Structure formats: C-alpha cells, structure tokens
C-alpha cells in the first residue's frame, strides 16, 4: 500500500509513501479546495446544480472570510442543511503540537498533518507589520549545506489545505477574523518556511490563490513573497500563475562556492538562474526581486564577492535588492556566521553601487525559529518506521 510519489529533487528524487491520506474520519476536508472543487464536492454528495452553486458560495465566504471552523455556526444556512454538511464535510486546521513565543515576540508553531508528519510555521511581528513564514513541504529534498531543514530525511509535499491552513491557524491565534482589508497584524506572507515551494508548485499556487482571493483571506499579492533556491524551469510559471514577489536564495557568486552550498546549482547554474530572474514576469523597479545572501565566514563574504554580486546584477540589468542574512547556527552546522564588521562592509559595497542591501535582523533565535533553523522531529522516525506505522494504521482501519 505504499504507492510512491516522486517529489522532484536534485540528486535523488525522494519517494514518498502515501499510504494513508484518509483518516479515520471519512468526511472530506474543504480547506484548500477551490470554489469549483467545493461545488463539485457538494454535487457529488447529492446536491443539485443550483443548490451546489449557492451553498458553495456561502461556504467559501464562511470558511475563508469569516474563519468558520464548523458548519453549526453558519447562520446563513438553514439548520437541517448545516447538519447535512457536518455529516459529510469538515473544516480542518493543522494540529498544533507546540506553540513557542520568543523573547522578541516571534512565535513558532510545531504542527502535525493527519498522517503524522510534523512541520513548522513562524510569525514575526514588527512595529508596522507582521510576517507569517509558511512551510511548503515537510523537510526538503534539496540539501543546502547551511540549512537545518535540508538535513531532514523525511519529505512530503504539504497539500494546498495544509498550506492555506497555516495562514488560517495564524489568523485564529491572532483573532483576526473576519478578513479585513486594513490594520491586521498578519499583513505579509513569505513562503520561506520548510521546503522548496517550486517543487510543490500546484499546491503552493492553489493555496496562494485562496490567500489572495478578495472574498477569501484577502491578502494582496504585493504582500506575499515566494522564496526559491533556484528551480529555474518553474520560475516563469510562478510569475504567470501566482504573480507574487520573488526572492531568490543566491548565497554565492561563483560556481565553485554555490555548487558547494546550494547543490541545486549543479543543475541550474548562476547565469541560467539570473537570466530566469531577468525574465520573471512582473518584476520591475517598483517590484524588485530580492536576492537572499546568507553570510558565511570565509566562504562567500569577501569584498570581491560583494563586487561580483554587483557586477552580476548589473550584467542582467535586474531590478534587485539584496537581503543579507546573518547565518543562523544550528547543532552540527558546518559554517559560522561572518563577523558583524564583515557583514557591514559587504552591505556597504553593495549600497555604494546603488543597490539596496539591508542586513536582516535575526528573529526568534532562542526558539530556533530563525531562517534555516526549522527542523521538526519528523525525521526522528526512519522511513521504514513510518511505513510500518502506516501499515498498522491501515490495518486498524480495515
Ligand atoms: N527553500 C526556499 C525557501 C525556504 S528557506 C529557499 O531556499 O529559498 C528561506 C531562506 O532561509 C533561504 O534564503 C535560505 O537559504 C535561508 N537559510 C537557510 N538556512 C539558513 C541559516 N542557517 N541561516 C540563515 N539563513 C538560512
Ligand atoms: Fe531546502 Fe531552502 Fe533549506 Fe535549501 S535553504 S535545503 S532549498 S529549505
């Protein structure tokens, strides 16, 4: 029963056992479904066309605008019908295993999927905004050498519902229902949690469409940023079909160093990546591409590296800004963070060339919530063990 599903990966595609997507609860979870899919689900459950159309509209509004978590509260739907719905459908949220709050106000949630995979989500409050850092996969198939998530063995794509469910859960916690256009704490979203979003393209796209829907979560695409380590063949589609801001994890300016720290570079090199950035639909001076650059001592942080970065950005005539990320340590990491003076000097060289290069202030380090520190306990179980658990659970259901 372990029908493997391959997730694209650089060196070895990781086969993902999908033995038990169905839980004991046979009801269908509506979160993550498009309007049309909700309508189809209602039709399949027995509603006629007209009813299904009307109900799906109401349900959509209740779920995504009002944040309803059960049908009982849907006062615009007749009572017998609410019961009928509750017997067939659910409105899920990821299960919260742990919720930590940092001394700087950053929050980290350890979440669990119905089939027992753990992943993380982080909320970073600031004076004028709040950014939710959302995961796209449990683990990551790419093994960037400086990233804790990359050391996880267990990988599975999160579903669209599990992705949009993170945003909804954050709204629950912050008390921000119903959706309002202005003044919310959760104002921005970055696809910078666990995983490579462009290796889970369809689910990320479907989830973000719901997040951006005017009668859904209502966040503007200008407030959403998708970060990729450089999956070149998917970048154009990301621009066309999702259309959010793009961040690219560049981290190095020579083939030698990038091959080492971002192994995907062996497949899609720097020049190819920058050409794809130049062609990214919708990038212009008002909507710049962010280049993320993690500062690793004696690895990628010399003056020469900074000047080469400027040269490359100019060569491709990119509307770019650079985000310098001090390396966040994790147990056993093979690198150290550059000194503060080095990071400042690097930033100055880029600024002096007329390109914005702020230094990102690390947040939530005390709860291991900072960039690249996310790694859930999921990996503690081996693949064989996960398969065995899956079989057991199936057997119990049979
Ligand atoms: N997989 C995507 C998005 C998630 S990672 C990507 O790689 O772009 C979000 C950002 O954190 C990336 O720029 C990543 O390179 C960076 N990062 C990873 N590990 C880090 C660490 N230990 N310290 C600082 N930044 C790190
Ligand atoms: Fe994956 Fe991004 Fe970490 Fe690289 S930096 S291993 S792509 S999550």
**230, pLDDT greater than 70:** yes
Task: Identify the weakest region by mean pLDDT among 175-184, 218-227, 314-323.
Answer: 175-184
Do residues 193 and 273 both lie within one domain? yes
Q: What is the mean pLDDT of residues 375-388?
A: 58
- Contact in structure between 33 and 64 (CB atoms under 8 Å): no
Active-site residue, 371 included = yes
Task: Identify the weakest region by mean pLDDT among 8-17, 55-64, 246-255, 366-375.
Answer: 8-17
- Contact in structure between 154 and 15 (CB atoms under 8 Å): no
> Does some domain include residue 10?
no
> Does some domain include residue 199?
yes
Cβ–ligand 1 distance for 229 under 6 Å, the answer yes
> Does some domain include residue 224?
yes
- How far does residue 148's CA lie from ligand 2's centre (Å)? 8
The model's pTM is 0.89
**24, pLDDT greater than 70:** no
**54, pLDDT greater than 70:** yes
Q: pLDDT confidence of 5, banded at 50, 70, 90? A: very low
> Can you give the C-alpha Rg of the chain in angstroms?
22
How would you classify residue 116: left for phi > 0, otherwise alpha for psi between -120 and 50, otherwise beta? left
Cβ–ligand 1 distance for 199 under 6 Å, the answer no
**383, pLDDT greater than 60:** no
Domain count for the chain, please give it: 2
Among 72, 90, 108, the domain boundary falls at 90
> Does some domain include residue 12?
no
Task: Identify the weakest region by mean pLDDT among 13-27, 51-65, 247-261, 302-316.
Answer: 13-27
Q: What is the mean pLDDT of residues 269-298?
A: 95
**Which is catalytic among the residues 44, 120, 271, 391?**
120
- Contact in structure between 146 and 372 (CB atoms under 8 Å): yes
Cα three-residue angle 344-347-353, rounded to 5 degrees: 140
How would you classify residue 160: left for phi > 0, otherwise alpha for psi between -120 and 50, otherwise beta? alpha
Q: What is the pLDDT of residue 4?
A: 39
> Does some domain include residue 138?
yes
- 262 against 9, higher pLDDT: 262
- How far does residue 87's CA lie from ligand 2's centre (Å)? 40
Do residues 315 and 343 both lie within one domain? yes
> Does some domain include residue 27?
no
Residue percentage of the chain with pLDDT more than 70: 88
Q: How far is CA 177 from the centre of its chain?
A: 22
Residue percentage of the chain with pLDDT more than 90: 74
Q: DSSP assignment, residue 343? A: H
- 380 against 348, higher pLDDT: 348
**14, pLDDT greater than 60:** no
**13, pLDDT greater than 60:** no
Q: What is the pLDDT of residue 124?
A: 95
- Contact in structure between 213 and 160 (CB atoms under 8 Å): no
Q: What is the pLDDT of residue 346?
A: 98
Cβ–ligand 1 distance for 113 under 6 Å, the answer no
Please choose from 138, 155, 365, 372 the residue to mutate so as to test ligand 1's pocket, defined by most ligand atoms within 8 A of CB.
Answer: 372
Q: What is the position in ligand 2's atom list of the atom closest to the CA of 194?
A: 8
Q: What is the mean pLDDT of residues 228-257?
A: 97
Calpha distance 17→25 (Å, rounded): 20
Do residues 273 and 197 both lie within one domain? yes
> Does some domain include residue 9?
no
Do residues 139 and 49 both lie within one domain? no
**73, pLDDT greater than 90:** no
> Does some domain include residue 16?
no
Q: How far is CA 216 from the centre of its chain?
A: 18
Provide the domain limits for residue 345. 95-397
- Contact in structure between 333 and 304 (CB atoms under 8 Å): no
Do residues 137 and 180 both lie within one domain? yes
Q: What is the pLDDT of residue 364?
A: 86
Do residues 195 and 337 both lie within one domain? yes
Sign of CA dihedral 120, 125, 126, 130: positive
180-195 pLDDT per residue, tens: 877 899 999 999 999 9
- How far does residue 193's CA lie from ligand 2's centre (Å)? 9
Q: Whose CA is nearest to atom 11 of ligand 1?
A: 371
| CATH number of the domain residue 288 falls in | 3.20.20.70
Q: What is the pLDDT of residue 10?
A: 39
Do residues 148 and 42 both lie within one domain? no
Q: What is the pLDDT of residue 377?
A: 60
């Amino acid at each position: 029963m372990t029908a493997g599903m391959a997730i694209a990966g650089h060196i070895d595609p990781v086969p993902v056992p999908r033995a038990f997507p169905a839980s004991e609860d046979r009801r269908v979870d509506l979160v993550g479904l498009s309007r049309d899919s909700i309508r189809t689900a209602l039709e399949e459950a027995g509603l006629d066309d007209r009813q299904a159309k009307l109900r799906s509209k109401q349900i959509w509004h209740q779920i995504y605008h009002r944040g309803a978590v059960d049908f009982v509260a849907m006062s615009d739907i007749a009572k017998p019908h609410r019961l009928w719905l509750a017997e067939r459908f659910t409105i899920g949220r990821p299960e919260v295993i742990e919720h930590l709050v940092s001394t700087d106000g950053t929050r980290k949630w350890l979440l669990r999927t119905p089939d027992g995979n753990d992943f993380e989500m982080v909320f970073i409050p600031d004076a004028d905004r709040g950014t939710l850092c959302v995961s796209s996969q449990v683990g990551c198939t790419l093994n960037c050498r400086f990233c804790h998530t990359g050391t996880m063995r267990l990988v599975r794509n999160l579903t669209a519902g599990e992705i949009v469910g993170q945003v909804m859960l954050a709204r629950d916690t912050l008390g921000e229902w119903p959706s309002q256009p202005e003044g919310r704490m959760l104002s921005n979203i970055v696809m910078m949690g666990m995983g490579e979003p462009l290796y889970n393209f369809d689910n990320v796209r479907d989830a973000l469409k719901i997040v951006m829907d005017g009668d859904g979560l209502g966040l503007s695409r200008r407030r959403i940023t998708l970060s990729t380590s450089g999956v070149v063949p998917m970048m154009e589609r990301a621009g066309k079909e999702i259309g959010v801001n793009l961040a690219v994890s560049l981290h190095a300016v020579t083939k030698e160093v990038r091959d080492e720290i971002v192994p995907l570079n062996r497949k899609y090199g720097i020049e190819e990546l920058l050409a794809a950035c130049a062609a990214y639909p919708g990038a212009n001076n008002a909507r710049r591409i962010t280049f993320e650059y993690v500062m690793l001592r004696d690895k990628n942080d010399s003056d020469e590296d900074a000047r080469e970065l400027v040269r490359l950005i100019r060569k491709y005539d990119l509307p770019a800004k650079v985000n310098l990320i001090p390396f966040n340590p994790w147990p056993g990491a093979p690198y150290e963070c550059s000194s503060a003076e080095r990071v400042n000097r690097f930033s100055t060289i880029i600024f002096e060339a007329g390109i914005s290069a702020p230094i990102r202030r690390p947040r939530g380090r005390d709860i291991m919530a900072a960039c690249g520190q996310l790694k859930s306990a999921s990996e503690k179980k081996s693949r064989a063990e996960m398969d065995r658990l899956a079989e057991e659970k199936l057997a119990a259901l049979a």
